[in-house]
């Protein structure tokens, strides 16, 4: 009888060890706010990028300014973990 009881205890211990801990998987409110802020920032930068890409100009000065703006926006997006979606 003790052998059966012991194996059940071992099974329970193994199940408890393999189950994810609730405290380590829960998102804190700060993490949720930070992720929401990052998503808003990425969305805003994507919109700016689309606007810059849609502009057409024959002025070389304006074109160089747009290219610089595009490079800056894409750099900021990369820093936030964004990649170009084709």
The residue ranges of every structural domain in the chain are: 26-86
Model confidence, pTM: 0.62
Contact 42, 82 (CB under 8 A): yes
What residues contact residue 24 under an 8 Å CB cut-off, 6+ apart? none
Residue-wise pLDDT tens digits, 15-49: 767 666 545 556 788 999 999 999 999 999 999 99
pLDDT band at 12 (very low <50, low <70, confident <90, very high): confident
Tell me the average pLDDT across 37-63: 94
Give the residue carrying structure tokens 């990052």.
38
Give the residue carrying structure tokens 């700060």.
30
């Amino acid at each position: 009888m003790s052998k059966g009881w012991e194996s059940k205890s071992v099974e329970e211990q193994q199940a408890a060890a393999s189950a994810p801990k609730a405290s380590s998987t829960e998102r804190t409110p700060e993490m949720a706010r930070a992720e929401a802020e990052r998503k808003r920032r990425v969305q805003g930068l994507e919109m700016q990028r689309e606007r810059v890409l849609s502009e057409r100009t024959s002025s070389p000065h304006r074109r160089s300014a747009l290219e610089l703006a595009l490079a800056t926006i894409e750099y900021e997006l990369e820093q936030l973990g964004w990649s170009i979606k084709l």
